Amino acid sequence: MARVATTSDVFNAIAEPQRRDILALLRAGERPVTELAEALGMTQPGASKHLRVLREVGLVRDRKAGKQRLYGLDARKLRAVHEWTGGFEAFWNDSFDRLDAYVQDLKAANGKKEE
């Protein structure tokens, strides 16, 4: 099966951890590629490639500011990811509730043994 292009949708684009790191850095505001590369310990060309992918799927916008190009987060396309992951919230809440009940049962059992 052929691999899906990373620029085909947001899910493919954010599958790469370094791209998620870039998005996290951009939450604080616009930054030039050199700052992003330095913060992530990568080369400027490497950061530029990731930014190109993020820009093509609509997660990042860029603008000229003098001699620099600033990159900023455009999180609107993350709504699909948020809605999809939100569907698992009930699953995790139920799992944690069961775990909590189990821990409470263990505590109660241990309390009876000590009496």
Q: In what order do the strands lie in the sheet with 68-73?
A: 31-32, 68-73, 60-65
pTM for the structure as a whole:
0.76
Predicted pLDDT of residue 33: 96
State the architecture of 10-87 in CATH terms.
Orthogonal Bundle (1.10)
Tell me if 24 sits within 8 A of 32, measured CB to CB: no
Placement of tokens 């310990």 in the chain = 41
* Residue ranges of domains in the chain: 10-87
Give me the tens of pLDDT residue by residue for the chain, a chain 115 residues long: 555 566 678 999 999 999 999 999 999 999 999 999 999 999 999 999 999 999 999 999 999 999 999 999 999 999 999 999 988 988 899 999 999 999 999 998 887 766 5
Predicted pLDDT of residue 8: 77
